[in-house]
Amino acid sequence: MPHKDPLARRTYHRNYMRKYVTDPAKRLQRNRVANERATRIRRWLDSYKLRLGCIDCGYRRHHAALHFDHVKGDKILNVCNAKSIAQAQIEIEKCVVRCANCHAVRTFTLYPCYEPMAKRVKKVKTRKLRRADPVGL
């Protein structure tokens, strides 16, 4: 509620913060609700990934090794950061599920960041180091 008087606005804001933000019981309640929602979304995403498996190799043993790979449209957010299952579903329509290995290989082949390692390795001159004589023998 905006106030023209700065003092009244400050007083209103201070009371609001005490009542809704800094109150430990309300903060715990908000955190509990947010954690439950995030857990529900995470579990749904995990079961979805396991149900589909990797599109390339068929892997479906553990959900942590399966990633959402954006292949269509513009990426608005990471699927894991969705605030609801509906929001996640909208973003999943642009994705396919790939295992971590297939995802890394496909991403590297699409966006190579450097030339292959064999071309970059140069022969480095090394010199032999003499061992120090053991002391006291």
Does residue 120 register a pLDDT over 60? no
| Residue pLDDT, tens place only, 50-104 | 999 999 999 999 999 999 999 998 999 999 999 999 999 999 999 999 999 999 9
- Name the average pLDDT for the chain: 85
Calculate mean pLDDT across residues 108-125: 66
* Per-residue confidence (pLDDT) for residue 136, from 0 to 100: 54
Kindly provide the b/e burial profile for residues 39-55, where b requires at least 16 CB atoms within 10 angstroms of the residue's own CB. eebeeebeebbeeebbb
